[in-house]
Structure 1
Amino acid sequence: MFSKACEYGIRASIFIATKSSEGIRVGIKDVAKEIDSPEPFTAKIMQILTKAGIIYSAKGVGGGFEVSKEALKSIKLIQIVDAIDGNTIYKGCGIGLKECSEIHPCPVHNQFKKIRELLLAMLTNTTLEELALGVNAGDYYLKIFNKTE
């Protein structure tokens, strides 16, 4: 549903938020490792998120990525998706037609419209803070380990 970059961006944002809530900044190597993403690709995603004002980047000794405690409460998932993928996921055609509308619907238009509306509501109402708190509490996981790990 989301592009791979957007999936990584969401995971990276949540990971950074979990560490920020503990007062810890994280480096690009740690982010890439935690979200199972190649480091150069992760760096590009982090540039996008930093430019969008979602993630803060501090350079130098003690630097790294963080989200302020105030921002944790206000950043919504929709901001991350918009920064990386734009709004096509909840505005575009379900099967990728260039022209699909109420007047000229594609075969899945009516069913997909309901899904888009639910997705938009979830992205608009879900904060980075609630996801980070869920990960920190052990309710959610960013990484699933094999039985041997």
Structure 2
Amino acid sequence: MFSKTCEYGIKAIIYIATQSLKDSRVKISDIVENVGSPEAFTAKILGTLTKQDIVESYTGPYGGFEIDKNKMKTTKMSEIVFAIDGDSIYNGCGLGLSECSYDKPCPMHNKFVKIREELKKMLETTTIYDMAIGLKSGESILKR
């Protein structure tokens, strides 16, 4: 449902958030190791998320990535998805057709509209903090 770029970005943000809860900055190599994403690709994604002010990046021997605890409690997952993929997840066709609408629907259109609405609601009501706490408590994992 999410692009591969967005999947890697979400996983990286959740991992950074769990480490930020421990007052630790994380290096790109640590992120890559713990989320299973390619290093150069992850660095590019995190560059985008840094520009969008979702994650903070520091250079030098004590550098790395972190997310302010207050910011992770207010930043919704929808903001991450939008920063990486725009709003295509809410508007695209479930079958990938270039044109799909209420007037000229694909076979999945009417059912997919409901799924997109639920997904949007979930992303707009779930914070980075919510995801980080689930991972930190062991209720969820980022890599198999």
Pairwise same-fold verdict (TM > 0.5):
yes
Listed as ranges, the matches of 1:71-90 within 5 Å are 71-90=71-90
* Cα distance in 1 for residues equivalent to 2:59 and 2:34: 20
1:42 aligns with 42
The one-letter code matched in structure 1 to 2:52 is A
Pairwise CA RMSD of aligned residues? 0.9
Offset at residue 102 of structure 1 (A): 1.4
Q: Which amino acid aligns with 1:44?
A: K
Extract structure 1 runs of 4+ deviating beyond 3 A: none
Quote the Cα distance in structure 2 between the aligned partners of 1:92 and 1:116.
9
1:39 & 1:101 partners in 2: Cα distance? 38
Rounded to whole Å, the distance in 1 between the matches of 2:72 and 2:60 is 23
With the length of structure 1 as denominator, give the TM-score of the two structures.
0.93
Aligned ranges 1:9-28 → 2 under 5 Å: 9-28=9-28
SS in 2 for 1:83: helix
Q: How far is the alpha carbon of 1:30 from its aligned partner? A: 0.5
User: For residues 20-70 of structure 1, what are the alpha-carbon distances to aligned partners after superposition, in whole Å with 9 as ceiling and x for unaligned?
Assistant: 011000001101111111111111111011111111001112110000011
Could you tell me which residue of structure 1 aligns to residue 66 of structure 2? Answer: 66
User: Counterpart amino acid of 1:36?
Assistant: G
Q: Which residue of 1 aligns with 2:105?
A: 105
* 1:54 aligned partner: 54
Q: Which runs of 5+ in 1 are unaligned?
A: 145-149
**Distance of 2:26 and 2:93 partners within structure 1:** 38
Cα distance, 1:73 vs structure 2: 0.4
